[in-house]
């Protein structure tokens, strides 16, 4: 027996429909990969910035003398916290997490980061450690492209956080 084929006229458009299904699946997969990639990259940038902050705290003379003396003056602690916070903000401003409209030059990038990203530097009394917490408003930052047909609010994180801590050795 021979296989029975439908007339060519009844099969018109089948390839276009199959292509549409394949293209839709491919575009959704690529969007998912790109979105996951931006979340992963942003999380890595935050972790690196927090590590940069605690690395700077190792060389601060305010904390080294404070840990040896046992207690810190409020001015020395505030100065150390400001320097650590500045190091974190500088590290974030050099990355690609700043939206395109605010990434025109270094000053604009730094201003955006300092206004949008929360940096908390904690130095307990006596200064035995330095803790840095960085919080980035990911969903409202406009880093990832928004597709109106998908409800991204259910699977895109509102905020990304990173934390780093280092022990301060007395001198």
At residue 142 the predicted structure's pLDDT band, cuts being 50, 70 and 90, is: low
- Is-contact 96 143, C-beta < 8 A? no
Half-sphere exposure of 148 (CA within 13 A, CB side): 0
Using a 10 angstrom Cβ sphere, with 0-12 exposed, 13-18 middle and 19 or more buried, the burial of residue 1 is exposed
Tens-digit pLDDT profile for residues 67-87: 455 566 778 788 888 899 999
pLDDT of residue 44: 95
13 pLDDT higher than 70: yes
Parse the chain into domains and list their residue ranges. 14-167
48 pLDDT higher than 60: yes
Strand partners, 7: none
Tens-digit pLDDT profile for residues 149-167: 666 566 778 889 999 998 8
């Amino acid at each position: 027996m021979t296989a029975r084929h439908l007339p060519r006229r009844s099969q018109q458009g089948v390839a276009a429909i199959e292509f549409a299904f394949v293209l839709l699946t491919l575009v959704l997969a690529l969007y998912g990969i790109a979105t996951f990639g931006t979340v992963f990259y942003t999380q890595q940038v935050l972790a690196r910035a927090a590590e940069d902050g605690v690395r700077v705290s190792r060389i601060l003379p305010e904390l080294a003398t404070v840990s040896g003396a046992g207690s810190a003056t409020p001015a020395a602690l505030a100065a150390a916290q400001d320097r650590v916070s500045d190091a974190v903000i500088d590290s974030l401003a050099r990355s690609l997490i700043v939206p395109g409209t605010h990434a025109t030059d270094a000053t604009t990038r730094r201003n955006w980061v300092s206004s949008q990203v929360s940096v908390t530097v904690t130095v307990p009394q006596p200064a035995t450690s330095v803790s840095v917490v960085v919080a980035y408003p990911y969903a409202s930052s406009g880093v990832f492209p928004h597709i109106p047909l998908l409800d991204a609010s259910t699977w895109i994180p509102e905020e990304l956080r990173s934390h780093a801590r280092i022990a301060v050795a007395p001198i």
